[in-house]
Structure 1
């Protein structure tokens, strides 16, 4: 492998970290916390254990050990920039279900895909984090998870403050904020970064600097010029007078690759035009249609019948409709309708059941709005998160849409749901469109005229021509 000077320094420093296990206490704690996040995410999404795991920046194997304990039947490839670290990890953990390789996590040379790609406190050493994440995303199998921890803004703030007070250039990198990290994640998959602050007691500044060197984590940012000994002593003296601890702002992130090509259509309200928009999408993309939860069939014909009557496939056949999981008579939320009809449904059984071919596109239509109750303890938002497809949010164009749209977008973003775009229904309102795009950061992908009646296949065909191609929407 050929590295630039900065990467060579990182590699060299970690290769000479002969006392890593003794001093890397925070690293061990963070690996344990990350493993907890991984297990919680698998449970929340109802995913089976990963068959293939890729670990980036394994070090001496803190996270490696936890992965093998919790996923004993998984095959794991663990890579690190440092050959010395790989040798140590191999000594600590061996077996037929694990392989180690000296490799740059930013520029991998591997074949195949992985159900889980993970990394603990490695990404802060990446030269181009956003580009690296995009490349790692490509290694995920459909429905696969990426989970990582990294240092974030606020780490070593006490040392930075000491440098600032003494007017000395600080060798601590500027770590990213949570907002920066969230802005860098792949747009088409669900995901979210959050953070916590860990406090590590230190005897004095000298002990802190020596501990960093002992674990190989003392590489200054590229372009940093070392300060004089006298300047460093002044910083150390200030630190010792004011602090006896250091803060680690640790970010934990996850994102999930969509399990198949498709979108989940939801809205800010009921009767907002989700079915018409779904029909236009099915027409535009020649897609499959699925309505997992159907209510109100006693009063109106089911939505799949509307799709069948409005969509025309290019081959002349009827659109492919996948069967609903739950069909209820009352025009209520699924939860209320089930109570009235004395039916029950376990959300644990809810999965993306349709088997789609590689070139199929699936359009899923939700029931009601984002926060509609599905069961006693779950909302439609939980179903969207579990399915793993990006959302198309259908909203009104007129008065009142700003409040409903902003709240719906906030609700989706708060749990890491990706929003591919917004469709506005009704007479175009340029001021509302501008406000929604500016305040949400989500693109308006179409503005469709609202039609109370008289919707025909020709109407849907015309609407479909105003929609972007699927690969353009999710790129």
Structure 2
């Protein structure tokens, strides 16, 4: 008799889980929570095409159908009977496809790809996320949940007290899943604990079987009935409750090729770095908000001159005073219309270099800081920082502010004399890539920029499409 692989046993276990819906309490809560995260991540955007992986019996699928009835929804699962149960629940409102999420055989692009409590069953989940991300449309969202370390801790403790080895899977720690990152995508992971009570110890064991989750991990033999009863009694003494620790992630693909260039200080060298990036990538340039035109020509003509007559988009607001964009606009009795601050869509094949005004916490409008705009645009950030004394505090605080908003960071550019110690500290403590070190130049010309541009990575080394 041929021994089934673990994947085949898991598939068989789910296929025979006839009472899944009645028992799937934690799964239902997780589906509802993931759906809320999806709504927040999409904001007002209505997805036109949705791919769901591991749809099970359709707990999440039903939320998707109700919220976006006009969307084309493709529900997939690797267990045929689970897919059939989703179809019996939702009928012809959804398209159905038998598919292993670890080897997707569908064509994108999709505006939303999602899966509830499926990653823990897949080999190499980080690779799975990367493969799925390639199926996303620009601005699309990849949303998943997974079981984390700490789940079933009460049962594992009961096993330990009886000198037994728990057969429950080894789930990843939060720190591990946080490394399942998608280059240039904004977003990140959050955690929820769900506590589920059971009538007695054996009720929990029956729950695992009913929900198709009873396949023990590799190398662990199932407990005999007598040993199982002893563990169940220990579990009962502790209160008959199980904790599920669930991780949720929503990753948003940038709406177009490009980066947002900001700095730790005003006058730190953002415009020079922007010109170098545009030159290096043969990109386009946009300075959405420009102030200080009473004292200088402005950054847009400067970049056009230095980078070689590249495509440059007109600023949404340009003001005379050397103040924050918000203060400069008010000084002229003007108002910055946030609707004019949407990313340009032209020149979509070129990486767009968007240069901010000042640093992250500079007011752009009465209601928006520059960091708010960075979050709204969804482009990975290039942070320009000085190389010398005082840079560590400013740079690490800026990186912390970006990550608190789950904004992707492409890397840091250090401006000024080479400083190996500061470079190493920022890279290590900030967990960030140093893209380039730009020395002080007494004169900035197109020729100088052409040489400095060679210090920067190529576009494909910044963001893999």
- Regarding TM over 0.5, the answer is yes
CA separation in 1, counterparts of 2:224 and 2:53? Answer: 36
Pick closer, same or farther for the CA change 1:183–1:296 going to 2, 3 Å. Answer: same
Pick closer, same or farther for the CA change 1:300–1:55 going to 2, 3 Å. Answer: same
Pick closer, same or farther for the CA change 1:225–1:434 going to 2, 3 Å. Answer: same
* Helix, strand or coil at the partner of 1:184: coil
1:296-327 deviation digits (Å, cap 9, x = unpaired): 22222211011122122xxxxx2110111122
Residue 87 (str. 1) matches residue 84 (str. 2): yes
Give the TM-score taking structure 2 as reference length.
Answer: 0.95
* Helix, strand or coil at the partner of 2:321: coil
Pick closer, same or farther for the CA change 1:300–1:38 going to 2, 3 Å. Answer: same
CA separation in 2, counterparts of 1:355 and 1:20? Answer: 49
1:247 matched residue in structure 2:
243
- Whether the 8 Å contact between 1:289 and 1:320 is mirrored in structure 2 is yes
1:54 matched residue in structure 2:
51
1:71-109 deviation digits (Å, cap 9, x = unpaired): 1111010001110011111111123x5201111111111
Of 349-358 and 61-70, more deviation after overlay is shown by 349-358
Alpha-carbon deviation of 1:13?
0.7
Alpha-carbon deviation of 1:234?
2.5
* Structure 1 moving runs of 4+ over 4 Å: none
Of 271-280 and 32-41, more deviation after overlay is shown by 32-41
* Helix, strand or coil at the partner of 2:91: coil
Alpha-carbon deviation of 1:236?
1.4
Alpha-carbon deviation of 1:34?
1.3
2:34 matched residue in structure 1:
34
How many residue pairs get aligned? The number is 462
Pick closer, same or farther for the CA change 1:29–1:346 going to 2, 3 Å. Answer: farther
1:470 matched residue in structure 2:
459
Residue 339 (str. 1) matches residue 330 (str. 2): yes
1:359-385 deviation digits (Å, cap 9, x = unpaired): x11111111112222233332122112
1:363 matched residue in structure 2:
353
Which ranges in structure 2 are unaligned for 5 or more consecutive residues?
none
1:421 matched residue in structure 2:
411
- Whether the 8 Å contact between 1:280 and 1:460 is mirrored in structure 2 is yes
- Whether the 8 Å contact between 1:192 and 1:415 is mirrored in structure 2 is no
CA separation in 1, counterparts of 2:71 and 2:389? Answer: 53
- Whether the 8 Å contact between 1:322 and 1:354 is mirrored in structure 2 is no
1:250-304 deviation digits (Å, cap 9, x = unpaired): 1110111222221111111111100000001111111100111212222222110
1:112 matched residue in structure 2:
108
- Whether the 8 Å contact between 1:448 and 1:463 is mirrored in structure 2 is yes
1:458 matched residue in structure 2:
447
Of 220-229 and 205-214, more deviation after overlay is shown by 220-229
1:201 matched residue in structure 2:
197
Give the TM-score taking structure 1 as reference length.
Answer: 0.93
Residue 319 (str. 1) matches residue 316 (str. 2): no
1:390 matched residue in structure 2:
380
1:315 matched residue in structure 2:
none
1:403-461 deviation digits (Å, cap 9, x = unpaired): 1111111111122211111110000011101111111121111111123x521111111
- Whether the 8 Å contact between 1:158 and 1:243 is mirrored in structure 2 is no
- Whether the 8 Å contact between 2:55 and 2:115 is mirrored in structure 1 is yes
Residue 446 (str. 1) matches residue 436 (str. 2): yes
Which ranges in structure 1 are unaligned for 5 or more consecutive residues?
313-317
1:164-199 deviation digits (Å, cap 9, x = unpaired): 233311122222222211211212211200111111
2:127 matched residue in structure 1:
131
CA separation in 1, counterparts of 2:323 and 2:214? Answer: 60
1:174 is aligned, of 149, 163, 170, to 170
Pick closer, same or farther for the CA change 1:164–1:295 going to 2, 3 Å. Answer: farther
* Helix, strand or coil at the partner of 2:191: strand
- Whether the 8 Å contact between 1:145 and 1:257 is mirrored in structure 2 is yes
RMSD over equivalenced CA pairs, Å: 1.7
